Chains A and B, each alone.
Chain A
Amino acid sequence: MKTRLIIGLLLFGSVGVSGCTEFKPWVKPYERNNLADPIMSLDRHGAAGSYIHHVYQAREGARGAEGGAGGGCGCN
């Protein structure tokens, strides 16, 4: 329940902030060349990346928060 509450607050907060303010990014779009490089992806290997997580989950007690999203230049 605690986690659900946190998730809800973060979503609500993010929508609220994005809709009410004029925000100037501190890293300009023309400064994002390095971030756009494929080597700056948090998960570069797609299906192969998913598979190694399976290997670990079958042999370890921990699970979840393996990531797989994010990275890149943020220049949509």
Chain B
Amino acid sequence: MQKVVQEVVVVVTNLLAINATNSTPFFKAFFVLLITVNSILMSAVAGTLPVDSVDILYHRFDGGGMEIDGPFILVRKSIGTQVSVNGHYYIDSVSAASIDVVANASEYTEERTEVSAGVDFLHEKTMISTGYTNSEENDFVANSVFLSIGQDFFGDLTKLTMGYARGWDEVGKIESDFSEDVDRQIYKLGVSQVLTKNALMGLDIETISDEGYLNNPYRSYRYFDPADSTKFLTSVEVYPETRTSTAVAVRGLYYLPYRASIKGEYRYFSDSWGIDAHTYEVLYVHPFGRQWTLEGRVRHYSQSSADFYSDIFTHEGANDFLARDKELSTLTGMTYGGGVTYEIGQGVIPHVNKLKLTLLVDYLKYEYDDFRDVTAGGGLLPAGTEPLYEFDAWVTRASITFEY
């Protein structure tokens, strides 16, 4: 009797915002999108309902003039044997004095709040999930819904997940009537394959399509001052109104001869704006006894610039599209991370099956090949001769998870 496991995963999308001056709308949108998509996929990797749990995370990003921190709370609760509900609450408290802010505006603080609600339905070996996410800040609103499908087959050695998400953003501008819309659609396909009794691999493909106002209303490009070529002037950026991207990732996970695992990952990315990116990551996980686990990872990221990006244009309106967002420039990023996890099993705390404490710390370093630091030298250096920009940052994640 063949065992066929079907599961349906739902993926929610939304597009939100980190902070208005530090990110373009589509970058903002992905904060929300990611949370939803990943939480949903994680909940539906097998033909069983997610474990009842409460996950409380404190997160902090500190670097490049940005300080962002806040809580992230995720709750899952089953109702009977076929339904599980979930919801999350997430806050980013932002204090911004990044190079984008310093160069274009005044330092500021703001807060973004995100909430979601979702349901998983399990019928025999099929699971269907759906959900909604909303994210709001003072100049940005994002809403999204998702749906996805999954199935296990080949004796449960292969898992297939598929998801569709749709998001609607409203991009605003502080102290103005400015308001523009963005629509977004996301298609995801994921396959996880057991290769041997010690090895498995995963393949993920994701296509994203954006349409609407995709640039940041606060940012500007710069061009040589026609009256003095050692100086520059600025004007509002002009982006295309559509963007389509595809990412393909391959991951491999291997159980070492002693109790430890090593994971390798490669992702290729390409979009209609001309950006090509490569991501490599290696993760090593080493448990000590039943309660302690240490891990370390290294990640390397590189990308080419968008076709319409330039650090400085020859003159105003030099092209149809003009951008100087450093996220669209040629850049390289390195991450060195480490973490420790401590687990307490059943019977120690009443009504708690498992308690997990986790601390993860990452050091990030970004170097830009064609984005210059206009604040260097007190802003007095000749235009286009400023030193290339770079920054580093620390990312801290501390979480406590109860399974009950």
Contacts and interface: CB of A to CB of B under 8 A. Distances in A.
Interface of A: 3-4, 6-7, 10-11, 14-15, 17-19, 21-27, 31-35, 37, 39-40, 42-76
Contact of A67 (B202, B246, B306, B401): B202
Contact of B38 (A3, A22, A60, A66): A66
Contacts of B255: 34-35, 37, 39-40
Nearest to A15: B151
A66 B34 contact: yes
Given A18-B153, A34-B197, A34-B198, A59 B366 contact: yes
B83 interface: no
B271 A7 contact: no
B287 A7 contact: no
B42 A11 contact: no
A27 B155 CA distance: 9
B249 A66 contact: yes
B30 A69 contact: no
Interface stretch (B43-51, B138-146, B234-242, B314-322): B43-51
Interface of B: 2, 4-5, 9, 18, 22-23, 26-28, 30-31, 34-35, 37-39, 41-42, 44-48, 55, 57, 59, 61, 72, 74, 88, 125, 149-162, 186-192, 194, 196-198, 200, 202, 204-208, 245-249, 251, 253, 255, 259-261, 263, 265, 267, 269, 271, 273, 275, 277, 279, 285, 287, 293, 301, 303, 306, 327-328, 331, 333, 341, 358, 360, 362, 364, 366, 395, 397, 399, 401
A21 B216 CA distance: 53
B48 A76 contact: yes
A3 B205 contact: yes
Given A61-B327, A65-B269, 4 more contacts: A3-B207, A4-B187, A50-B72, A76-B47
A74 B267 CA distance: 24
A30 to B, nearest CB: 10
Given A7-B162, A34-B255, A69 B41 contact: yes
Nearest to A8: B162
Chain B interface, DSSP helix/strand/loop, else mixed: strand
A28 B167 CA distance: 42
Contacts of B31: 54, 57-58
B9 A57 contact: no
B259 A48 contact: no
19 contacts: A3-B187, A7-B189, A10-B160, A18-B151, A23-B153, A42-B253, A48-B57, A49-B38, A50-B38, A54-B31, A65-B206, A66-B38, A67-B251, A68-B37, A70-B192, A71-B45, A71-B253, A74-B46, A76-B125
Contacts of B188: 64-65
Contacts of B198: 34-35
A76 B156 contact: yes
